[in-house]
Structure 1
Amino acid sequence: MRNKWKYPSHHSELNQLRFKEKQMDYVLNTVQADPCPDMTNPKKKIIFKRLSYLTTAAAALFMLIIGSTHFSLDMAKAAAKIPYFSLFIKQEEYKYALYDSIQNVINEHQYQVVDLDVSIPKKKITVSLLGSKAEVKTIKADVIANINEELVSQDFGKYKILVKKGERPDPGPELTQEEEKYITDSVELEKKILHLLAQHNYTPAFPIEARINSMENFIYIALPNTESKQRVTELKELLNTVTKDYGEFRMRITSIDMKAREQELRWGNNIIGILAQGLMSNKSFQVTGFSYSFHPYPLQIKVKTSVQSTDPKAKELAEEMINEMKVFIQTHELTKDVRNDEYKVIIYGKDKEIILEE
């Protein structure tokens, strides 16, 4: 049977990956066989626990090239024709697992860390510690040794670690008694409003907001658009009663299309976040902005790029982005509940003209 997975014969960045034939074969064989990862090896448990949504093919490729100083998601995608967002999720989960390992060391040794910066492609970590220069210098060698020992034990390999003196972040001004009372009253009023809504069978479409401060007193409630005008009027009267001890309020009661709200709940911040961060992280996509709206229905996603809409390659670039989004939405485990959802994607050029709309 013909192998559906293959490496492109010509790609400007492929040679930078420094793949050998046996490494390419390993990745392609993994794609075809799709075996379960070896969870019996205790050293690999943390990594694979955090990579639960990753395709085995993407994992195999990523593990082979993650240490390369030339690594980029675009290069990896080109190398094995693996869906871009699968590799992006893999990178993020790998990064979180790496941070977990470092945090374990920090907690165990009670290091006073005020800032931590990690570059996976450069295999470099910068740790900023509280204390005098002399104190930081005294424990510097131990910090480097302990972090690298943990990383090696979890199969991340050794990193170049820079330990330096950090500064305690400014906590900001303390709250005044008046500001503390505003917060207490806001929380108290919100609880009363929630009780009132439940008592009178109102189901808010979004979390309510009750805000009391020196600028204004404000209440926001979103109701399903199935509520009658009479019920909305009655709610306003009930709110006037429950707020009378807190002063006058500006109230905003909106009507929400529950079909749109249900779609919003299905997609959540997770799927939208992956699309936004994934597109922005890939330099070849040249994305400069990402926005979305579920209201009105259906979901509309807008992507801004630094490419002129008249550029001969603009449409090809837009098609590639939309195709990668479609593949992710239609095939990834995370998106199984939204595959039949209606949505629209609009790609804009630098000149604010539409390049492609689907």
Structure 2
Amino acid sequence: MEKDLKEVKDYYQQNYFHDEIANRIKDRVQQQIQPKRINWWRRLFYFSGAAVAAFGVFVVLAFFSPAVAEVAAKVPFLNMIFKSQPISDVILTTLTEKGYKVDGIGVRYEPKKVMSVRLQGTEEEVNKDKPEVKKIVKDLLLSRGFDAYGVRVEASQFTPPVLSEEEQKIEELNKQVFDVVSNVLKSYGNEEPIGLANKTIEINLPNTETKKDEIKQKIQSQLAEKGLGTFTVNAVVYNVKKREREMRWSDIITTIADGMFSSKKYKVIGVGYTNRSAEFMQITISTSVSSKDADYEEVTDRIEDTIREFLTSKETKEIIKDDAYKVFIRSKDKKERVITR
């Protein structure tokens, strides 16, 4: 597969990639990453932002160019998704560049799989733009083989909430509490998310932390000193090794879910995972086929082959390392096929 990916890259660079595109991609990537911190659950495989963006452009071009599509067809389906920009980002960028004011993009899986696009504007304005926007989004989805989604375009109904004076005071208090707790945790080298509800603060600490009680007491004392009130502090302890494994698997699982949900041929209605076991990572893929259906073997074989191909590819193996895993392919009547390592 490495040879095929190199062929894709060479073909793309020779026929489509030039300085203007490179600079445009670079500027866009810089705009996207400059204002915000990179979160731990984002992609951990070390492609540059521009490279990922360029591959996303390549995927879109594959839909419109038979020559590019022929080269792209050599790249396994899940690997293609894994190396590309998220489809929602591509849709947002494309529509924005065409002058549409997008207020939100989301996916709904029930009762049907739908890619939903919300546009700013009146009902009349959005209804006028709807046919063209639906076509653009549908074409972008099909450019990746995402043929399982319907497309819905609607006017945004969002209106900023108006807070009462009392709600504003609570919000300001919560902000001050969060600042105090965050600063204490940072002083111990911890920047985990914080929970706050009903005078109870929930913090996340690694199982390697030896000063749990000291941290809790320091939070309570500093809140009291600043006159912010008395709070109960609960510490949720997480397993460092399991967390590290989950971080590495995050985009692997997202890619599997994106691919399985997005193509009709897999007939998938659910993808879930659990990281509870110390021995292995577990992924469950639920299908709409029964073990008694005529196409049961064909569908489950297709899912198994696709998953095996992805999990044994060089790119994926570099991320999951020596982790053991179990992938359950579950039929509608609960029959299971298991992929193990």
- Give TM-score, length-normalised by structure 1: 0.59
Q: Distance in 2 between matches of 1:60 and 1:113?
A: 22
Deviation at 1:223, TM superposition (A): 1.6
Deviations 1:322-352 (A, max 9, x none): 3323322443657733344332212222123
Paired residue for 2:54?
Answer: 52
Deviations 1:8-57 (A, max 9, x none): xxxxxxxxxxxxxxxxxxxx9x959954523238579869966534798x
Give the number of the structure whose alpha-carbon radius of gyration is greater.
1
Quick one: distance in 1 between partners of 2:118 and 2:196? Answer: 39
Question: Kindly tell me: are residues 243 and 326 of structure 1, through their superposed partners in 2, closer, same or farther at Cα, counting changes over 3 Å?
Answer: farther
Name the SS of the counterpart of 1:308 in structure 2.
coil
Counterpart mapping for 1:262-273 below 5 A:
262-268=244-250, 270-273=251-254
Q: Are 1:103 and 2:96 matched, yes or no?
A: yes
Pick aligned residue for 2:179 from 191, 197, 204: 191
Paired residues of 2:52 and 2:83 also in contact (CA < 8 A): no
Coordinate RMSD, CA, aligned: 4.8
Q: Distance in 1 between matches of 2:298 and 2:51?
A: 37
- Mapping 1:214-253, distance limit 5 Å: 216-228=198-210, 231-244=211-224, 245-253=227-235
| Matched residue SS, 1:337 | helix
**Partner of residue 276 from structure 2, selected from 291, 295, 300:** 295
Partner of 1:278: 259
Number of residue equivalences? 281
Distance 1:98 1:332 in 2: 29
Distance 1:54 1:105 in 2: 18
Matches of 1:348 and 1:43, distance apart in 2: 44
Shift in CA distance, 193/92, structure 1 to aligned 2, threshold 3 Å: closer
CA 1:33/1:196 → structure 2, altered by over 3 Å: closer, same or farther? Answer: closer
Does the 8 Å contact 1:50/1:94 carry over to 2? no
Q: Tell me which residue corresponds to 2:192.
A: 207
Structure-1 separation of matches of 2:90 and 2:67: 14
Out of 73, 79, 88, the residue aligned to residue 86 of structure 1 is 79
Aligned residue number for residue 37 of structure 1 = 13
Tell me if structure 1 keeps the 8 A contact 2:96–2:102: no
CA contact (8 A) 2:76 2:310 kept: yes
What are the ranges of 5 or more consecutive residues in structure 1 without an aligned counterpart?
A: 5-27, 69-75, 118-125, 152-164
- Which one-letter code corresponds to 1:277 in the other structure? D
Aligned partner of 1:83: which letter? P
Indicate the SS of the match to 1:307. Answer: coil
Q: Distance in 1 between matches of 2:75 and 2:330?
A: 26
**Percentage identity across aligned positions?**
22
The secondary structure found in structure 1 opposite 2:159 is: coil
- How far the C-alpha of 1:289 sits from its partner, in A, is 0.8
Q: Unmatched 5+ residue regions in structure 2?
A: 26-49, 107-116, 140-152
Residues in 1 aligned to 2:335 and 2:168: alpha-carbon distance in whole angstroms: 48
Equivalent residues of 2:290, 2:331 under 8 A apart: yes
Task: Give TM-score, length-normalised by structure 2.
Answer: 0.62
Give the Cα separation in 2 of the matches to 1:307 and 1:132.
Answer: 39
